Structure 1
């Protein structure tokens, strides 16, 4: 196994009790330093896959590997896994439970038995990274939805994981909230955290991710984001549409020989405007 693979599933099978198989012989890996978007239709197994990667579910067959070594699903093995891989669920209200932001974010480090000074340092670092330091003493029930999202992510960041897995982190946020969260994730990536994001938004995946993984009935298909999200067969099997940026790139290349076939497709309307050599209108 390549040293760059941090966490992987090998030949994994899983089914919920009295339910049909969700995965059979699944191979999946998360590579260090690569932003990975996980996409698929509802019921395709995205949440199950994330819980398998983070140790919340145990495979019925196959194995979970951490840095090339099989993870034992006992207390010691799962503690080691969860100091490396952290999952943040879609609804922050399923994750927040303490009276204040600071108390909630400190919960994980305290459970590791760290000294008080180390816990305080980790909490301060996480609050700063998520731009919510000013909310440290705020009761969690008085937070806005976006603030609750950031607090839930801060609780995971305080564990200093190498892999941060986020389930639909931009869902329910307005455009400004989405942009602020994406900027925060870029900061975490720059600091060395590998980020996996489950999303239904193909445009966001194309714009944000290095790699994309599409869950289809035939299994998981992973590759460079632009290449993978241009595969209409895989998108159809995943219940997804062609990303706006890919369609725009196809249109530009169809304009004739003057179009630069080697230029990357525009990922956003702003990139398209820049490519056409024009300035966006000022509001």
Structure 2
């Protein structure tokens, strides 16, 4: 269980997170959205133990997080974070060594390291470029290497900060597929993103943050359909939700579902 209980965090005298009560164990994919400065990045750093709240707690396995060296090491083997800029997490010039870095620090046997690295590279669809120098990779490929570096830990929770930032449409589609494969293995994914359409499509639950507080939360369709909440949060509705609220069209979860429904309607009208 990964959650927060009345979590407060401030930088100097300015509170950034204000009494957050969040539970990330209830849904396979949880989305975090909000305008710049709402506290998403600070929340991620609290969840990963990089920052410590002044009041309240991050709850891990039902108990307040243990900030001892041993406690944080145990947490980070189960809660892995992938930052927006993959360069922050890449330390080697060859991919296999970079992905294996954390496992070697933990003393994992080499045979097990090889197995996990192969498995992670397959999951993020990176086998075909694993022997290229990292400096020759595209931004999207580096993101996949960073995700693979987190996956080898076999963490139960994966925190993704702006996973589609800087990606082209093909890279974005690939990232969606990667998240779905991670979840299919029984893991939880928490995504912080300004890509509202991504959050709507991939998330099972959404928290909307505004000035360090939860403005609203729930199922994506319900949350994003509330135009008042979206305006208060400084957000726009996902385009599929906007078609529903403004034109009265059926609320669809994906673009594929939407076009399938439209084709069925057109076929009925033609016949």
TM score, norm. by length of structure 1: 0.88
Shift of 1:19: 4.6
Q: Distance in 2 between matches of 1:155 and 1:188?
A: 13
Runs (4+) of structure 1 exceeding 3 A deviation are: 251-254, 267-270
Residue 260 of structure 2 corresponds to: 274
Which secondary structure does the structure 1 equivalent of 2:150 belong to?
A: helix
* 2:235 counterpart of 1:235: no
Counterparts of 1:29 and 1:237 in 2: how far apart (Å)?
23
Secondary structure (helix, strand or coil) at the match of 2:35 reads: coil
Q: Does 1:13 align with 2:11?
A: no
Deviations 1:145-181 (A, max 9, x none): 1110100010001111100010000010000111011
Shift of 1:270: 3.7
Secondary structure of the equivalent of 2:208? strand
Higher relative contact order (CA 8 A, sep 6+): 2
1:43 counterpart = 2:25 = no
The equivalent of 1:258 in structure 2 is none
| 1:72-117 residue CA offsets vs partner (Å, 9 max, x unmatched) | 1111110111111011000111111112111110011112221111
Check the 8 A contact 2:206/2:220 in 1, yes or no. yes
Q: SS at 1:197's partner residue?
A: strand
Unmatched tracts of structure 1, length 5 or more = 1-5, 255-263
Q: Is the 8 A contact 2:77 2:153 kept in 1?
A: yes
CA distance in 2, matches of 1:208, 1:23: 25
Q: Evaluate the alpha carbon distance shift between residue 113 and residue 218 of structure 1 in structure 2; reply closer, same or farther with a 3 A threshold.
A: closer
Q: Which runs of 5+ in 2 are unaligned?
A: 267-271
* 1:81-230 equivalences in 2 (<5 Å): 81-217=75-211, 219-220=213-214, 221-230=216-225
- 2:24 match: secondary structure: strand
Say which structure is richer in helix: 2
- Is the CA contact (8 Å cut-off) linking 2:17 and 2:212 kept in structure 1? no
Aligned length: 265
1:278–1:229: structure 2 CA closer, same or farther, 3 Å change rule? same
